[in-house]
Amino acid sequence: MSNVDPARDAAFAGPWRAPVNIAADAQGSIHDDKTARELGLRGGTVAGSIHMEQFPPLLVRVFGEAWLKRGGLSLYFKHATTNGERVRCCASVPTGDGAAGRARVWMEAEAGQLVCEGTASVGAPDPASALRQRLASATPPKELRILKHLHAGATVSGCPARIASTALDRHLKVITEPMPGYADAVVFGGRALPANLAIDALRACEATLTPLTAPSVGLYGAIELNMLDGPIFADRDYLVRGRIVAFGETPQTEVIWTESVISHGDRDVASLLLMSRLMKASSPLWAGS
Protein backbone atom coordinates (compact mmCIF):
# COMPACT_ATOMS: atom_id res chain seq x y z
CA MET A 1 0.00 0.00 0.00
CA SER A 2 1.24 3.49 -0.85
CA ASN A 3 2.17 5.78 2.02
CA VAL A 4 2.32 8.83 -0.25
CA ASP A 5 -0.60 11.22 0.13
CA PRO A 6 -2.59 10.93 -3.13
CA ALA A 7 -3.98 14.44 -2.56
CA ARG A 8 -0.57 15.97 -3.28
CA ASP A 9 -0.61 17.92 -6.53
CA ALA A 10 2.71 17.11 -8.19
CA ALA A 11 2.90 19.83 -10.80
CA PHE A 12 6.55 18.87 -11.28
CA ALA A 13 8.13 15.43 -10.99
CA GLY A 14 11.66 14.28 -11.63
CA PRO A 15 12.77 10.95 -13.08
CA TRP A 16 13.10 7.80 -11.03
CA ARG A 17 16.68 7.43 -9.80
CA ALA A 18 18.57 4.86 -7.70
CA PRO A 19 20.82 6.74 -5.21
CA VAL A 20 23.98 5.01 -4.01
CA ASN A 21 24.80 4.52 -0.34
CA ILE A 22 28.24 6.09 -0.67
CA ALA A 23 29.08 5.54 3.03
CA ALA A 24 28.31 1.81 3.09
CA ASP A 25 31.90 1.06 4.17
CA ALA A 26 31.71 3.37 7.21
CA GLN A 27 31.64 0.65 9.87
CA GLY A 28 29.71 1.52 13.00
CA SER A 29 27.61 4.15 11.23
CA ILE A 30 23.95 4.13 10.25
CA HIS A 31 25.11 3.56 6.65
CA ASP A 32 26.76 0.25 7.53
CA ASP A 33 24.41 -2.72 6.95
CA LYS A 34 25.39 -4.55 10.13
CA THR A 35 25.02 -1.53 12.41
CA ALA A 36 21.77 -0.38 10.81
CA ARG A 37 20.17 -3.81 11.15
CA GLU A 38 21.26 -4.08 14.78
CA LEU A 39 19.33 -0.83 15.35
CA GLY A 40 16.19 -2.16 13.68
CA LEU A 41 16.57 -0.74 10.16
CA ARG A 42 16.39 -2.74 6.94
CA GLY A 43 20.02 -2.01 6.06
CA GLY A 44 22.57 0.74 5.68
CA THR A 45 20.79 3.98 4.84
CA VAL A 46 21.28 6.44 2.01
CA ALA A 47 22.09 9.80 3.62
CA GLY A 48 19.49 12.55 3.46
CA SER A 49 22.12 14.84 1.96
CA ILE A 50 22.38 12.42 -0.98
CA HIS A 51 18.62 12.60 -1.51
CA MET A 52 18.87 16.40 -1.54
CA GLU A 53 21.13 16.19 -4.59
CA GLN A 54 18.25 14.85 -6.66
CA PHE A 55 16.18 18.04 -6.28
CA PRO A 56 18.18 20.82 -8.03
CA PRO A 57 17.19 20.06 -11.65
CA LEU A 58 13.55 19.93 -10.60
CA LEU A 59 13.80 23.17 -8.61
CA VAL A 60 15.42 24.97 -11.54
CA ARG A 61 12.28 24.02 -13.48
CA VAL A 62 10.13 25.41 -10.66
CA PHE A 63 12.02 28.63 -9.83
CA GLY A 64 14.52 29.21 -12.65
CA GLU A 65 18.32 29.36 -12.63
CA ALA A 66 18.28 31.84 -9.72
CA TRP A 67 17.56 28.95 -7.37
CA LEU A 68 21.13 27.66 -7.81
CA LYS A 69 22.56 30.87 -6.30
CA ARG A 70 19.83 32.01 -3.88
CA GLY A 71 17.68 28.93 -3.34
CA GLY A 72 16.60 27.05 -0.26
CA LEU A 73 15.53 23.44 0.32
CA SER A 74 14.01 22.40 3.66
CA LEU A 75 13.35 18.67 4.15
CA TYR A 76 12.14 16.43 6.98
CA PHE A 77 13.08 12.77 6.49
CA LYS A 78 10.41 10.14 7.12
CA HIS A 79 11.55 6.87 5.51
CA ALA A 80 15.13 5.63 5.26
CA THR A 81 16.06 4.07 1.92
CA THR A 82 18.84 1.60 1.23
CA ASN A 83 21.36 1.35 -1.59
CA GLY A 84 19.82 1.46 -5.06
CA GLU A 85 16.17 1.85 -4.07
CA ARG A 86 14.43 3.93 -6.73
CA VAL A 87 13.01 7.30 -5.71
CA ARG A 88 11.80 10.45 -7.41
CA CYS A 89 11.31 14.03 -6.25
CA CYS A 90 8.17 16.10 -6.76
CA ALA A 91 7.07 19.71 -6.30
CA SER A 92 3.91 21.76 -6.34
CA VAL A 93 3.35 25.06 -8.12
CA PRO A 94 4.87 27.82 -5.93
CA THR A 95 2.50 29.98 -3.94
CA GLY A 96 3.17 33.68 -3.50
CA ASP A 97 4.45 36.25 -5.96
CA GLY A 98 5.29 34.32 -9.12
CA ALA A 99 8.42 32.20 -8.98
CA ALA A 100 9.57 33.95 -5.79
CA GLY A 101 7.12 32.02 -3.64
CA ARG A 102 7.28 28.74 -1.76
CA ALA A 103 6.70 25.28 -3.22
CA ARG A 104 5.83 22.07 -1.41
CA VAL A 105 8.38 19.38 -2.22
CA TRP A 106 8.66 15.70 -1.43
CA MET A 107 10.38 12.49 -2.45
CA GLU A 108 8.60 9.19 -2.92
CA ALA A 109 9.96 5.68 -3.16
CA GLU A 110 8.91 3.39 -5.97
CA ALA A 111 7.36 1.10 -3.36
CA GLY A 112 5.11 3.97 -2.26
CA GLN A 113 6.76 5.31 0.91
CA LEU A 114 7.14 9.03 1.51
CA VAL A 115 10.91 9.44 1.89
CA CYS A 116 10.93 13.12 2.83
CA GLU A 117 8.79 16.23 2.57
CA GLY A 118 9.22 19.95 3.02
CA THR A 119 9.45 23.24 1.18
CA ALA A 120 11.67 25.00 -1.34
CA SER A 121 12.02 28.70 -2.05
CA VAL A 122 14.18 31.24 -3.85
CA GLY A 123 15.54 34.57 -2.63
CA ALA A 124 15.95 35.33 1.07
CA PRO A 125 15.77 32.32 3.43
CA ASP A 126 12.13 31.43 4.07
CA PRO A 127 11.15 32.24 7.68
CA ALA A 128 8.15 29.91 7.32
CA SER A 129 10.03 26.99 5.77
CA ALA A 130 9.07 23.45 6.70
CA LEU A 131 11.89 23.16 9.23
CA ARG A 132 11.43 26.63 10.72
CA GLN A 133 7.82 25.73 11.43
CA ARG A 134 8.79 22.36 12.89
CA LEU A 135 11.48 23.96 15.07
CA ALA A 136 9.03 26.57 16.36
CA SER A 137 6.72 23.81 17.58
CA ALA A 138 9.43 21.54 18.99
CA THR A 139 8.86 20.23 22.52
CA PRO A 140 11.77 20.37 25.01
CA PRO A 141 13.13 16.95 25.96
CA LYS A 142 12.34 15.31 29.29
CA GLU A 143 15.71 13.61 29.56
CA LEU A 144 18.99 13.75 27.68
CA ARG A 145 21.94 11.46 28.34
CA ILE A 146 24.02 11.51 25.15
CA LEU A 147 23.62 15.28 24.72
CA LYS A 148 23.37 16.22 28.40
CA HIS A 149 26.69 18.08 28.46
CA LEU A 150 25.69 20.45 25.64
CA HIS A 151 23.75 23.70 25.95
CA ALA A 152 21.38 25.60 23.67
CA GLY A 153 22.88 28.93 22.64
CA ALA A 154 26.47 27.69 22.57
CA THR A 155 28.42 29.11 19.62
CA VAL A 156 31.69 28.63 17.77
CA SER A 157 33.27 30.61 14.95
CA GLY A 158 36.30 30.69 12.70
CA CYS A 159 36.25 27.00 11.80
CA PRO A 160 38.12 26.46 8.50
CA ALA A 161 36.42 24.54 5.68
CA ARG A 162 37.72 23.50 2.29
CA ILE A 163 36.50 20.76 -0.05
CA ALA A 164 39.09 19.68 -2.62
CA SER A 165 38.21 19.22 -6.27
CA THR A 166 39.56 15.68 -5.99
CA ALA A 167 36.75 14.91 -3.51
CA LEU A 168 34.26 16.49 -5.91
CA ASP A 169 35.60 14.38 -8.79
CA ARG A 170 35.13 11.20 -6.76
CA HIS A 171 31.60 12.19 -5.80
CA LEU A 172 30.56 12.98 -9.36
CA LYS A 173 31.16 9.34 -10.28
CA VAL A 174 28.19 8.30 -8.13
CA ILE A 175 25.99 11.41 -7.96
CA THR A 176 22.32 10.87 -8.76
CA GLU A 177 21.76 14.10 -10.71
CA PRO A 178 24.91 15.71 -12.15
CA MET A 179 24.67 19.34 -13.25
CA PRO A 180 27.04 21.33 -15.50
CA GLY A 181 28.18 23.69 -12.73
CA TYR A 182 29.67 20.83 -10.70
CA ALA A 183 32.21 19.90 -13.37
CA ASP A 184 32.59 23.14 -15.34
CA ALA A 185 34.09 26.12 -13.49
CA VAL A 186 32.89 28.51 -16.20
CA VAL A 187 29.21 28.20 -15.22
CA PHE A 188 29.56 29.92 -11.83
CA GLY A 189 33.18 31.07 -11.79
CA GLY A 190 34.23 27.99 -9.85
CA ARG A 191 33.21 24.36 -9.49
CA ALA A 192 30.03 24.28 -7.41
CA LEU A 193 29.60 21.71 -4.66
CA PRO A 194 26.49 19.49 -4.75
CA ALA A 195 24.45 19.24 -1.55
CA ASN A 196 26.29 16.37 0.12
CA LEU A 197 29.68 18.12 -0.10
CA ALA A 198 28.22 21.57 0.63
CA ILE A 199 26.74 20.16 3.84
CA ASP A 200 30.10 18.57 4.71
CA ALA A 201 31.66 22.04 4.45
CA LEU A 202 28.93 23.62 6.59
CA ARG A 203 29.47 20.97 9.26
CA ALA A 204 33.13 21.97 9.71
CA CYS A 205 32.33 23.41 13.14
CA GLU A 206 30.48 20.33 14.39
CA ALA A 207 33.35 18.62 16.19
CA THR A 208 33.99 21.77 18.21
CA LEU A 209 30.36 22.78 18.74
CA THR A 210 28.86 19.37 19.60
CA PRO A 211 31.59 17.02 20.87
CA LEU A 212 30.25 13.73 22.19
CA THR A 213 31.56 12.11 25.38
CA ALA A 214 30.26 8.60 24.65
CA PRO A 215 29.86 6.59 21.44
CA SER A 216 26.52 6.66 19.62
CA VAL A 217 25.13 6.28 16.11
CA GLY A 218 23.52 9.32 14.51
CA LEU A 219 21.52 10.09 11.42
CA TYR A 220 20.02 13.11 9.71
CA GLY A 221 16.46 13.85 10.81
CA ALA A 222 15.97 17.03 8.80
CA ILE A 223 18.09 19.39 6.71
CA GLU A 224 17.56 22.92 5.45
CA LEU A 225 20.22 24.21 3.06
CA ASN A 226 20.07 27.84 1.92
CA MET A 227 22.30 29.50 -0.65
CA LEU A 228 22.72 33.11 0.52
CA ASP A 229 25.21 34.12 -2.17
CA GLY A 230 26.12 30.75 -3.53
CA PRO A 231 27.20 28.35 -4.58
CA ILE A 232 29.99 26.97 -2.39
CA PHE A 233 33.04 26.15 -4.50
CA ALA A 234 35.64 23.39 -4.44
CA ASP A 235 39.26 24.38 -3.71
CA ARG A 236 38.24 27.55 -1.86
CA ASP A 237 38.97 28.42 1.77
CA TYR A 238 35.96 29.27 3.91
CA LEU A 239 35.19 29.92 7.56
CA VAL A 240 32.20 28.43 9.35
CA ARG A 241 30.36 29.66 12.44
CA GLY A 242 27.71 27.68 14.25
CA ARG A 243 25.37 27.52 17.22
CA ILE A 244 23.24 25.00 19.07
CA VAL A 245 19.62 25.98 18.59
CA ALA A 246 17.52 23.45 20.52
CA PHE A 247 17.12 19.88 21.73
CA GLY A 248 14.37 17.30 21.54
CA GLU A 249 13.73 13.58 21.84
CA THR A 250 11.64 10.67 20.65
CA PRO A 251 11.28 7.26 22.31
CA GLN A 252 14.16 6.01 20.14
CA THR A 253 16.38 9.08 19.72
CA GLU A 254 17.88 12.18 21.26
CA VAL A 255 17.59 15.20 18.96
CA ILE A 256 19.81 18.24 18.48
CA TRP A 257 19.18 21.25 16.24
CA THR A 258 22.18 23.24 15.03
CA GLU A 259 22.61 26.13 12.62
CA SER A 260 25.79 27.07 10.75
CA VAL A 261 26.85 29.70 8.23
CA ILE A 262 29.78 29.46 5.81
CA SER A 263 31.54 32.64 4.71
CA HIS A 264 34.26 33.78 2.34
CA GLY A 265 35.83 37.07 3.36
CA ASP A 266 32.99 39.32 4.55
CA ARG A 267 30.39 37.47 2.45
CA ASP A 268 28.02 34.85 3.87
CA VAL A 269 27.68 32.17 1.20
CA ALA A 270 25.28 29.56 2.59
CA SER A 271 23.55 28.40 5.76
CA LEU A 272 22.51 25.05 7.19
CA LEU A 273 19.77 24.22 9.68
CA LEU A 274 20.31 20.63 10.75
CA MET A 275 18.29 18.34 12.97
CA SER A 276 20.31 15.28 13.95
CA ARG A 277 19.05 12.18 15.71
CA LEU A 278 21.22 10.05 17.99
CA MET A 279 19.97 6.50 18.49
CA LYS A 280 19.46 5.70 22.17
CA ALA A 281 19.94 1.99 21.52
CA SER A 282 23.44 2.70 20.19
CA SER A 283 24.69 4.42 23.34
CA PRO A 284 25.99 2.83 26.55
CA LEU A 285 24.38 5.75 28.38
CA TRP A 286 20.97 4.20 27.57
CA ALA A 287 22.00 0.58 28.17
CA GLY A 288 19.33 -1.30 30.10
CA SER A 289 16.71 1.43 29.71
pLDDT band at 9 (very low <50, low <70, confident <90, very high): low
Mean pLDDT is lowest, of 4-18, 49-63, 71-85, for 4-18
In DSSP notation, the chain reads ---S-TT---SEE---B----TTTT-TTSTTSHHHHHHTT-SSSBPPHHHHHTTSHHHHHHHH-TTHHHHEEEEEEE-S--BTT--EEEEEPPPBSSGGGSEEEEEEEETTS-EEEEEEEEESS--TT-HHHHHHHTPPPPS--SSSTT--TT-EEEEEEE---HHHHHHHHTT-SS--HHHH-TTTTTS-BPPHHHHHHHHTTTHHHHS--SS---EEEEEEEEEESS---BTT--EEEEEEEEEEEE-SSEEEEEEEEEEEETTEEEEEEEEEEEEEGGG-GGGTT-
All structural domains of the chain, each given as residue ranges with its CATH number in brackets, are 12-123+130-286 (3.10.129.10)
Mean pLDDT is lowest, of 52-61, 74-83, 88-97, 270-279, for 88-97
**Whole-structure pTM value:** 0.94
For 198-229, how does the pLDDT look when each residue is reduced to its tens digit (9 = 90+)?
999 999 999 999 999 989 999 999 999 999 99
Q: Give the pLDDT of residue 24.
A: 83
